[in-house]
Chains A and B, each alone.
Chain A
Amino acid sequence: MKNGLAISVSDLTKRFGDFTAVDAITFDVKKGEIFGFLGANGAGKTTAMRMLCGLSLPTSGKAIVAGFDLYKESEKIKKSIGYMSQKFSLYEDLTIRENNRFYGGIYGLTDRQIKDKTSFMLEHLKLESQADTLVKALPLGWKQKLSFSVSMIHDPQIVFLDEPTGGVDPVTRREFWTMIYEAAHRGTTVFVTTHYMDEAEYCDRVSIMVDGKIEAMDKPAELSKQFNAKGMAEVFVQLARKAKRSDN
């Protein structure tokens, strides 16, 4: 990443039969940037994100993620990124410590590293007393903060967050975003999707996908100006209302 780019994508396309899920999207994400990846249900966000994580091969186009080529080096990409989603994160029937050991092991950390990481994380999250508690017994807000930390146990260059804050209370949601800010401040690139439009405004830049294409991309404040809108919610609705394909 000599050029300071964490992600560099040009004309990235994914077709399923005659359906073009992702239609020649082009964008860059800078190192340490918080990049909001927005779009209506069915716009193609998940497909694009799966490609960027090395889980699905593009039909055409180019992409460099964490300095690696998407076609040739997807295994290296997987080692260099973290992923967290509300749907899948931690193992509920393992304790906090066990989850750490499991994920640390998967990413090839040494026992020493896992031990250090775990104690640092527990201290940082003030969860020392809960280290041997089953994850399923934890409140949702803790689980979310914890799974964000676990997704970064291997110090990834980029962390992908797929609707990370669904369902949590407004105070916890803000604590979570403070953690995102901190991670970005330390140089981690954050790539995040959300349906909360106020959260879109916490991002350095956002892109909005409509029908497989990126229809707008800029700083939130610039987009509001450009679309003569009060905030990202209005910008989003103006753009997404134009969508021809529904989420089918």
Chain B
Amino acid sequence: MSTAVKVEHVFKTFQSGKTQIEALKDISFDVSKGELFGLIGPDGAGKTTLFRILTTLMIANKGNAWVDGLEVMGDYKEIRKRVGYMPGRFSLYQDLTVEENLSFFATLFNTSLEENYDLVKDIYVQIEPFKTRRAGALSGGMKQKLALSCALIHSPNVLFLDEPTTGVDAVSRQEFWELLRKLQLQGITIVVSTPYMDEASLCDRVALMQDGKIMDIDSPKGITGKFKKPLWAMSSADMYKLMHDLRADERIDTCYPFGQHHHITFKDDHQEVNPIENFLIDKGHKGLSIEKIEPTIEDCFMELMNR
């Protein structure tokens, strides 16, 4: 069987006071064995709820899901032996040391650090110098590495990582993704969620999630390939004024700041860019730069949100 995770028409609602929150609305997707699959979306998209259902910690209201060929309701005990889960909130024992946490989780799964050392080696060597430190006294980056080691200690077939890079600096994020690629080479299926759109391009395939729905599922290239409108990057000496002038113009469909540029689409796909340029020059913009560009995942995400 080549499917590691299968989700079919899953719905989940929560009651909060008088209001009912629909956390997941008809979610379906498959993850192939050995795939690095990303759930990309902001807080409240439903990523954590989905993880909880797949790790058998929560039951869906409707629909069904399978992990490693086992059904999440009927076979929950077996699934728990085969998956590793790193929740978004640090959930290890704060007053146990690094070593003690690892041996605790290893013992739960009838294994030991030595037995699966190859798998955790790359990560463990980075926290080994602090092995006698209590987990609660570790920094964010180190906690993250310890949590990943604990999630891997029983050599799981499928690894679920809920926002492992949130709040982590750009360098540590890059290193973390390098680690995930190495784990993937060892045959582990990885489902990882992130609110950072730039990390989507590091996955084999991604699901873009918003408000409990999947807006699109595809490879990163497949997703950006679906962005049909011509996209322009513009900048000038006064970026704030540039945004105002563009948004006030009726020929402009969208104008979003993107780092050093604004990304712009026109209402009419055949709109010539020269009249727009002249209009901006007339408005007094200096150092104007206009360039046609390829969309990023973030452009696509916003376009899907606006539909």
Contact = CB atoms under 8 A, between A and B. Distances in A.
Interface in A217-239: 220-221, 224, 231-233, 236-237
Given A41-B141, A246-B139, A248-B138, A198 B171 contact: no
A241 B171 contact: yes
Nearest to A185: B240
A240 B305 contact: no
A195 B168 contact: yes
Contact of B170 (A42, A140, A177, A240): A240
A129 to B, nearest CB: 15
Contacts, number: 107
A141 B42 CA distance: 10
Contacts of B167: 163, 166, 195
A197 interface: yes
Interface residues on B, range: 35 or more
A187 to B, nearest CB: 13
Nearest to A232: B259
A40 B169 contact: yes
A199 B258 CA distance: 8
Contact of B141 (A139, A198, A220, A246): A246
A177 B195 CA distance: 17
B140 A247 contact: yes
Interface stretch (A71-79, A101-109, A146-154, A168-176): A168-176
Contacts of B259: 197-202, 220, 231-232
A141 B195 CA distance: 14
A55 interface: no
Interface string A190-213: 000001111111100000000000
Contact of A140 (B17, B44, B172, B173): B44
B142 A236 contact: no
Given A140-B43, A246-B139, 15 more contacts: A40-B169, A41-B169, A42-B139, A166-B166, A169-B41, A169-B305, A170-B298, A170-B305, A195-B167, A195-B170, A202-B257, A221-B260, A232-B259, A243-B171, A247-B172
Closest 4 CB pairs of A and B: A201-B259, A169-B42, A167-B43, A247-B139
22 contacts: A39-B169, A41-B141, A41-B169, A41-B172, A166-B167, A167-B43, A167-B195, A169-B45, A169-B301, A170-B298, A171-B256, A171-B306, A174-B257, A195-B167, A200-B259, A201-B259, A221-B260, A246-B141, A247-B140, A247-B141, A247-B142, A248-B138
